Amino acid sequence: MSPDIPEKKLPEENLSELSVLVVGTTCCDMTNPEFDFLDDIAGDGLVVDSGRMVPLRPEWLESKEDSYAMGGGSLNIAPLVSLAGIPAGILTSLGIEQEQYDIHGRFMLEVMEKTGTRPLIIPNYTLPSAASFIRPAQRDRREAILHTPTIIHYVYSGSMTAMDSEGGEKLGRVMKKLKNLGYITMVDPHTLSKNPQESIRTGEIIEGYNLLRPVLPHLSWFFASELEAMMIAHTFGISLKNKSQEEKNNAFLRQIAEVFCFDNSPRILGITAGTTAFIMYLSPGGKQIGPKRIKSRYTIADADQFVGAGDSFRAGFEVEWVKGKNYSEKFREGQIVSDDLERLCHAGHLMAACYVTRTPFNQYGNIPAHQNMAKVIDSRAEFSDKETLLSALNMLE
């Protein structure tokens, strides 16, 4: 086997060294001003449309002005957790080309190496490593993408043909087994519409979200973006008419809890909506806290305008969970309190605020260590300026 391809090992051989394992979609996100044509393909949503993708390589992008490649999918999560001081890994598949990982795979492995993220790679000799195409950010519009740990975090439901097979039953069985083994299980949905606002307005049923039905009963945590939650609600037949947006978010969480959380195991359910989060906790004994609305103290950017903001919120949440205040024990024993939920959300908001300040050429440069995050959270200070926040996190020389 080529020295460029690590010896294949069973993932469980390395799990004991990790606190967080992120599983699933890992991709090389590429952007270029010439990608404006994506508006016609993707609208404002995050969708996979591989049939219309054009073959591009990072070398091609690097020769173009305002072009760059960045890590996407699980690379929006695991490296942030790792840089904050938590042992994190990524379990994914990368493509093999001419007896070495292909160019996108090598790029992603380099990101993992530089950020101290443990790669658990399954070589694929048939399919290439995943690559996505990003429309350059525009004013008032988000970017559009085509295309024994404590926590096992799967990204993204609805975008992986193999794991989404059998109508979601396969992923459901995997999550059930992992949860029964004592892991905290989490699955992220994906934005499965080219125009989410229009899908919500018309009440469109999006079949891809039905893949979540066999999965939700076996999750410890479930988070969705506000747009995803509203589309899931329509698909599941959850009525949210004649309510304010906050009432809709709260009603969605309660309905998910009522329909899918029936085995008396502890759960955390949440919705991320830019700089606001909605969260609730269900204890093993049936006690419910929330839904609670937690506003970010760190509003230095419009978080919903950036790809990766929701992913990085989850990363911050996971960092605080692993390094913080005995959350796992309290979670299992029904002792999570309202202040715990608030602190976890502030950690998520803080990580998201740091991540969305990234530049194309320094994707992970502003990721703080947990001890510095904890000091900022403890201060209860609010920030609206990037430099002031990074200074408080000891990120400026």
Query: Cβ–Cβ contacts within 10 Å for residue 292, how many?
Result: 17
pTM higher than the cut 0.75: yes
Q: What per-residue confidence (pLDDT) applies to 49?
A: 38
Q: Considering the chain, what is the average pLDDT of its residues?
A: 82
Paired tokens of 79:
């490296």
Tell me which H or E stretch contains 41: helix 38-42
Beta strands in 88-203 (DSSP E): 88-97, 100-101, 118-124, 130-134, 151-157, 184-189
Residue 73 and residue 130 in contact, taking contact as beta carbons nearer than 8 Å:
yes
**Which of 89-98, 231-240, 280-289, 372-381 comes out lowest in average pLDDT?**
89-98
Confidence of residue 80 (pLDDT cuts 50, 70, 90): very high
Model confidence pLDDT, tens digit, residues 6-50: 554 444 556 678 899 998 778 777 766 655 544 554 455 444 434
* Residue of 155, 157, 186, 193 lying closest to 73 (CA atoms): 155
3-state secondary structure of 94: strand
Classify the phi-psi angles of 301: left when phi > 0, otherwise alpha if psi is within -120 to 50, otherwise beta. beta
- Is domain 12-392 given the CATH code 3.40.1260.10 in the classification? no
Can you tell me the mean pLDDT for 239-261?
96
Paired tokens of 33:
């001003």
Paired tokens of 371:
């001890």
Residue 89 and residue 118 in contact, taking contact as beta carbons nearer than 8 Å:
yes
Q: What per-residue confidence (pLDDT) applies to 396?
A: 72
CA dist 27 and 166 (Å) reads 24
